[in-house]
Amino acid sequence: MGAAYFYHLTEQPLEATLPALIGKARAAGWMVEVRGREAGLLDRLDEHLWTGIDDMFLPHSRAGGPYDALQPVLLCVEGQVAANTPACLMAVGGAGVTPGECAALERVCILFDGHDPEAVQQARSQWRDLTGAGVVAQYWAQEGGRWMKNAESGG
């Protein structure tokens, strides 16, 4: 059974944090799904992952292509099936995650903008829902340029 890691983004934007987390997941040998609610956000992330990262290359694709099953990182709009059989799900932009997905995957990462009160409320709700269903969860916040684990639920 996997765990849900909540990342409260306050010092770096999603575009800076997501590539680093994807890199760590890929270093663990995991296929990754990046799930968002809005196609526009995934379009921006897609472009950034190809052109906006100076020191790393993260091969990826948008879901819906003929080679989805082979993609190490697949960007999916909520409701699309991640054909790459991911071991890690990264939910961005308020995308939903179920307790069953947390149980089936190695890791679920929920990234949310700490400057957006609605995103913070939604993350709190997801925390309650997932931990209430027995999911092991960790809450990570940026402090002084470093990630600090500030809470953990045993599930």
Determine which helix (DSSP H) or strand (DSSP E) holds 64, and give its type and residue range: none
pLDDT recorded at residue 1: 65
Give the whole-angstrom CA distance, residue 53 versus residue 127: 30
User: What's the mean per-residue pLDDT of the chain?
Assistant: 93
pLDDT at 56 (0 to 100):
72
145 or 103, which is more confident: 103
In the chain the domains, ranked by start, together with CATH numbers, are 3-153 (3.40.50.10110)
Better-scored residue on pLDDT, 144 or 89:
89
3-class state of residue 17 by DSSP: helix
Q: What is the pLDDT of residues 18-36, one digit of tens each?
A: 999 999 999 999 999 999 9
- Could you tell me the CA-to-CA distances from 88 to 4, 48, 66, 93 in Å, in that order? 10, 20, 21, 17
Q: What is the pLDDT of residues 126-150, one digit of tens each?
A: 999 999 999 999 999 998 889 999 9
